[in-house]
Amino acid sequence: MSEIVLFKHLIDPEVRNIENYIKLGGYEGLKKALSMNPDEIIEEVKRSNLRGRGGAGFPTGLKWSFMPKGEGQKYFVCNADEGEPGTFKDRYIMSENPHQLVEGMVIGGYAIGASVGYIYIRGEFEFVAKTVQKAIDEAYNQGFLGKNILDSGFDFDLYIHLGAGAYICGEETGLINSLEGKTGKPRLKPPFPAQYGVFGKPTTVNNVETIACVPDIIRRGADWFLTIGPDKNNGTKIFAVSGHVNNPGVFELPMGTPLREIIYEHAGGIIGGKKLKAVIPGGSSAPVLGPEHLDIPMDFDSLKKVGSMLGSGAIVVMSEDTCIVEAFTRLARFYAHESCGQCTPCREGTPWMYKIMKRIEDGNGKKGDVDLLLDICKNIMGRTICPLGDAAVLCIKGAIERFRDEFEYHIEHKKCMVDNKIPIF
């Protein structure tokens, strides 16, 4: 069995209760952190090579170090807006091992000098939020939250903020606006949240999984964390596997675990023993891979090398019975639906791409449609306020580049080249 950092419920199914969590070393990290000075904590997190688990893979310690020093209101915000198609990992940290997140929030808050934290949970996860709220209440009762935590003089309040159905709030400045009670339209950067974040104050936003790694990094030390996973990609990663696999689910494995092992061992292989056709390795925005990539180590740098990305670590598996055109048309609809509408290329480009793809899927595609799609991709890429436009492009362009023949077949024959598919539309 590999190292367990986050999924402590696999050791004790009742770890969501604070007593059980404490028995497994819970809140020891916080006690240790409060005996250190904040810069030492940031240094330790930097040394651990912890990188953002939300999708970008940005070094967490470095991000924390961007926060201004000294007095003044600052905020620590947890991004629990989990909405990237295929992603369902943070949900299980929060529902099964919520104290891991709460402890991480207090440590992070102390490190960056924030006295208030918010956990931004997507609105649909209200049932998850209830579990987290219970954990927060328990932490207050035990003196891990509130005034003068463990007699350290450090005050930290933690609140849950529920989203209301908008993928764009997963983008950190969209999330900040949403937390401020506005539409989740991303902000122009600069200024970055570390200078001008929630309510105009310096703010750090981290993903649930990222924050949940922190208590163990502090308790067991960066050196221990470095022993897990390949260099610069250390720690465990929760891989969320869905689609055409026998045993879909979440698996906490060392970073760098080969894709083949995840799909065929942990997720039980392809349904019906079918052949693998395509696999999205990191949530819908990560360019799709093929069977030739099965031996790739699942970490930030290895996936980057093959032109894709680890993203959220959400693996969507598609068997030979999948119509790629149809599957990606569905994703194109998703991006069009979730574009906030603020900036021109994404607002206009994403629905246009969806309409063209839908017409191809429906058998009404025109010669030149594929090139037109690629041209639209070019006109969106890098020209928008936030990465949603880029994400849509990576998703669609990735599919076209890998499966262009399938698109062309649809256009030429006005039908799908796959029999026995489960209809999506």
Partner 1 sequence: MALRFDENDMKALEKIRERYPNNTACTLPFLHYAQDRFGYVSDDVIKLVAETLNLPVAHVLNVATFYTMFNKKPVGKYHLQVCTNISCSLLGARRLVDKLEEILGIKPGETTDDGMFTITEVECLGSCGTAPVIQVNETYFENLDEKKVEDLIESLRKGELDV
Partner 2 sequence: MITVKINDREYQVEEGKTILEVAKEFGIDIPHYCYHPALSIAGNCRMCLVEVKGMPKPMTACSTRVSDGMEIYTDSEIVKEARKGVLEFILLDHPVDCPICDKSGECKLQDYYFKYSAQRSRYEFPKERHKVQKISKKIYLNPNRCVLCTRCVRFLSEITKTFELTTVERGSHTYITCVDPESLDNNPFASNISDICPVGALGLNEFRFKKRVWFTKKVKAICQGCSAGCNIYVDVSNRKQLLDGDDDEIVRIHTAENPKLGQYFICDEGRYSYKLYNDRESRVKVPVLEGEEITVENAVSLIKEKANVRKGVVILSPLHSIEENYAAYLFARERGFDVFRPSSFRKDLPEPALFIEEKKSPNDRMLKLMKLPKVSEIEEIDYDFALFLHNVGKIHSKSEVRILSVLKKSTFSVVFEPVLSEFGRNANLVLPAPIFIEENGCYINAKNLVQRSHKGVDYMYLSKPLWFFLDINFKSEEELLAVFAKEQLNIELDYNRLGTEGFEL
46 in Cβ contact with 37 (< 8 Å): no
Residue spans of alpha helices (H) in 142-207: 172-179
Measured from the CB atom, the residue of 201 and 260 that comes closer to partner 1 is 201
Exposed, middle or buried by CB within 10 Å (0-12, 13-18, 19+), for 162?
middle
Give me the least distance between CB of 170 and partner 2, in Å please: 15
Pick 116 or 213: Cβ nearer partner 1:
116
Pick from 32, 260, 330, 359 the residue near partner 1 by CB under 8 A.
330
Measured between alpha carbons, how far is residue 331 from residues 148, 393, 394 in Å? 48, 11, 11
Backbone phi, psi, residue 133, to 5°:
-60, -40
Going 206 to 241 to 395 to 352, the CA torsion angle's sign is negative
385 binds partner 2 (CB under 8 A): yes
194 contact choice in partner 2, partner 1, none (CB below 5 to 8 Å, kind-dependent):
none
Selected range binding partner 1 among 4-12, 15-23, 142-150, 181-189, rule: CB under 8 A: 181-189
Assess 342 for contact with partner 2 (CB under 8 A): yes
Q: Which of 68, 341, 404, 422 binds partner 2 (CB under 8 A)?
A: 341
Cα→Cα distances 425→145, 171, 220, 319, 332, Å: 48, 28, 50, 18, 13
Q: How far is the CB of 49 from partner 1 (least distance, A)?
A: 27
Cβ 40 to partner 1, closest distance in Å? 30
Judged by beta carbon, residue 130 or residue 404, the one nearer partner 1 is: 130
- Whether 205 and 177 have beta carbons less than 8 Å apart is answered as no
Smallest gap from residue 366 Cβ to partner 1 (A):
25
Q: Are strands 314-319 and 249-254 parallel, antiparallel or unpaired?
A: unpaired
Residue 384 contact partner, candidates partner 1, partner 2, none, CB within 5 to 8 A by sort of partner: partner 2
The reply on whether position 268 binds partner 1 by CB under 8 A is no
51 binds partner 1 (CB under 8 A): no
Closest CA to 117 of 214, 5, 8, 250: 214
Contact between 290 and partner 1 per CB under 8 A? no
Q: What is residue 367's three-state secondary structure?
A: coil
Rounded Cα–Cα distance for residues 226 and 233 (Å): 9
Say whether residue 124 binds partner 2 (CB under 8 A).
Answer: no
Q: Is the dihedral of CA 239, 242, 245, 247 positive or negative?
A: positive
Q: State yes or no: residue 382 binds partner 2 (CB under 8 A).
A: yes
- Residues 84, 124 contacting (CB under 8 angstroms): no
| Residue from 165, 191, 363, 382 binding partner 1 (CB under 8 A) | 165
Quick one: what does residue 393 bind among partner 1, partner 2, none, with the CB cut-off 5 to 8 Å set by partner type?
A: none
Instruction: For residue 123, state whether it binds partner 1 (rule: CB under 8 A).
Output: yes
- In whole angstroms, what is the distance from residue 213 CA to residue 235 CA? 8
- Residues in touch with partner 1 (CB under 8 A): 82-88, 90-91, 122-127, 159, 161-167, 178-184, 199, 240-244, 248-250, 280, 284, 314, 316, 318, 322, 327, 330-331, 334, 337-338, 340, 422-425
- Residues in touch with partner 2 (CB under 8 A): 166, 183, 188, 336-345, 347-352, 355, 372, 378-380, 382-385
